[in-house]
Amino acid sequence: MKFDLAYCLGLDEKLSIYDVRDLNFDETMAFDSAKEHFQCPNDACRLAFDVANGLGTFNAKNVNYVRTPHFKNLPSTRHVAGCPYVSLKAPASTGEETDDSREEHFPSELLLSRREYLRKPSHPIVAADLQGAEPAAAPTANSVEQPGRESAPDKTSVFAHPVECFVSNFEDKALLKRMPLKIGEHTAPYASFFKKIEYLQDNKGLVYWGKIKQIKDYTQSFRIDFEKKVWFEKKPYSVNVYLNKKLIDSYRKRTAFLAQIKHAIESGRPLYCFFYGVQPALQQVPSKKNPEQTFGVFSANIENLDHLIVREAPGLEG
């Protein structure tokens, strides 16, 4: 049985596996999922057992995953009778994942601002003193829970989550046409929110994706070239996106990101790039061979690495 959420003891929050991955790679956060305790998201069930009764994770720390990450029951995990998360299937004794690997929990919205977390204060007395000194402080100051989190658990701030929904359910076109996705002001079914790169002129503000032709490594910056071309005024143009040095250097998940890109360059495997937030536009760039001449290319500078993913996606081939 796969879990969409799990309670994280250290953060006193319910997290999706994509939140966990984001935290694992975030160099500004002290977080390692291997050392955290995850428990049943059903409060009544969780509170019925001690903290040793936990859940496991799958692909929580793998930078280059292919199969859908998730929380799962361990052979030792117990649930109260009637808990909706009681596993109907016994975990395979071989340790092999037998659950189908599709992402079943479709977020209805990608929130563009990051979710913030705060560990429980380790010195509650200090917290009480502060409260006494500033009685006017808003009682919500300590609350990091996003408004509506409980009532709308289908929102995510991690781009990888809707991307995994699209990739792992790619065969099920009817499902992707049925499930809605909202990003910013735009709402559309997954099937049309994810736009093939060659059709990027169709609409603004979408998630554009395509197979990567090559990643040019300029040591400090990168250019991702797409295989497919865009047709404009009856002529084909190459498409690419740039990732500049400043963007990468200041990225909170820099190490994981560079590992991902380097692996992508070296793996020789078919790779796909997904991005949101910018739309490549026709630009004239100088020719290398003859700088007097220019040629046209559809290009964009990526502005937020949180909204760019380079990954394998075997289901999208063919």
Binding site for Zn ion (CB under 5 A): 40, 42, 45, 79, 83, 85
Smaller CB separation from Zn ion, 85 or 159:
85
- Are 239 and 229 spatial neighbours (Cβ–Cβ below 8 Å)? yes
Q: How far apart are CA 283 and CA 285, in angstroms?
A: 6
Min CB(71)–Zn ion separation in Å: 11
Smaller CB separation from Zn ion, 79 or 195:
79
Smaller CB separation from Zn ion, 14 or 79:
79
Min CB(81)–Zn ion separation in Å: 10
Smaller CB separation from Zn ion, 84 or 121:
84
Min CB(9)–Zn ion separation in Å: 15
Widest pairwise Cα distance in the chain: 75
Min CB(2)–Zn ion separation in Å: 13
Min CB(6)–Zn ion separation in Å: 10
CA nearest neighbour of 207 among 120, 306, 297, 308: 308
Smaller CB separation from Zn ion, 39 or 68:
39
Ranges of beta strands (E only) in the chain are 2-3, 5-8, 13-16, 38-39, 55-58, 70-73, 109-110, 155-156, 180-183, 186-189, 194-196, 207-217, 222-226, 230-232, 235-237, 239-243, 272-275, 281-286, 294-301, 308-311
Query: How many CB atoms neighbour CB 131 within 10 A?
Result: 13
Smaller CB separation from Zn ion, 5 or 179:
5
Place of tokens 């007395």: 125
Min CB(42)–Zn ion separation in Å: 4
- Are 39 and 7 spatial neighbours (Cβ–Cβ below 8 Å)? yes
